[in-house]
Amino acid sequence: MTNKPTIIFDFDGTLADTPKLVVEIYNEHADEFGVLPVKTEQIPYLRTLGYKRGMKALKIRWKVLPKLIMLMPKEMKKRMNEVYPYPGIVTLHEELKSSGLTVGVLTSNSAELVQTFFKSHNFPRLDFTVTEKTLFSKEKALRKLLKARGLNRDKVIYVGDEPRDIVSCNKAGIKVIGVTWGLGGKEALAITRPDIQVDTVEQLKKAILDEARKLTELQ
């Protein structure tokens, strides 16, 4: 089991600015699924609601939700050229790799799609990219990843943008940093109580390096 600090990133809404495209795809299929379209001015409010209240506001039925979720990766794959990294994210990864940290990604997207995105935007080579197909919880995927790579959970930091990321990490006993620029939003993230919550990439860099330094000192 390795004691080297490992940083695991979520992909959508954390590294890649995919929420805008998600909304576009959702709106294009709103009539098909019998749900209400999302207006641009609604997004800040919807981000404060959480999943259940958000579904109610948009009249998304539970039986429709899995179909919507399965639709997204297929449509996004066709339009991934429209998606860019959040400003400063590529530089952040370069600095993390230069610091000697192990850096990887856990995502519901295909590994091929993610690797193509990284190559297109000149990301440094990451240590791993793991695909998980769990729709609502990443807890099992996180535990599986820790076991497969021989990671000590006390030396792992997860970075994500959605409340489900925070909840899953809390259940798995993994330190988690919540970023507010993605799909979840500041208010919804705060309710789930991440270990650290950040609003900018610069704050994220400081938080990761500070926490990694503490973990290294504990060895």
Residue 65 carries which side chain, given as an amino acid letter?
Answer: L
| C-beta of residue 108 within 8 angstroms of C-beta of residue 14 | no
- The tens digit of pLDDT for each residue in 155-213 reads 999 999 988 889 999 999 999 999 999 888 888 888 899 999 999 999 999 999 999 99
> What average pLDDT does this structure show over 31-51?
84
> Rounded to an integer, what distance in angstroms lies between the CA atom of residue 212 and that of residue 131?
24
C-alpha dist (Å) from residue 12 to 17, 20, 57, 165, 166: 7, 11, 23, 12, 15
> What average pLDDT does this structure show over 102-120?
91
> Rounded to an integer, what distance in angstroms lies between the CA atom of residue 98 and that of residue 212?
13
pLDDT of residue 129: 94
Determine which of 5-19, 33-47, 160-174 has the lowest per-residue pLDDT on average.
Answer: 33-47
DSSP state of 196: E
Structure tokens belonging to residue 213: 């330094």
Backbone Cα Rg of the chain: 17
> Rounded to an integer, what distance in angstroms lies between the CA atom of residue 18 and that of residue 151?
29
Q: Which residues contact 114 (CB under 8 A, 6 or more apart)?
A: 11, 105, 107, 129, 131
> What average pLDDT does this structure show over 69-89?
90
Does the predicted model carry a pTM greater than 0.85?
A: yes
User: What confidence category does residue 1 fall into, taking pLDDT thresholds of 50, 70 and 90?
Assistant: low
pLDDT of residue 212: 95
Is the pLDDT reported for residue 110 higher than 60? yes
pLDDT of residue 2: 66
pLDDT of residue 203: 98
pLDDT of residue 188: 83
User: What confidence category does residue 70 fall into, taking pLDDT thresholds of 50, 70 and 90?
Assistant: confident
* Better-predicted residue by pLDDT, 88 or 165: 88
User: What confidence category does residue 76 fall into, taking pLDDT thresholds of 50, 70 and 90?
Assistant: confident
Sign of CA dihedral 98, 101, 102, 104: negative
Is the pLDDT reported for residue 73 higher than 60? yes
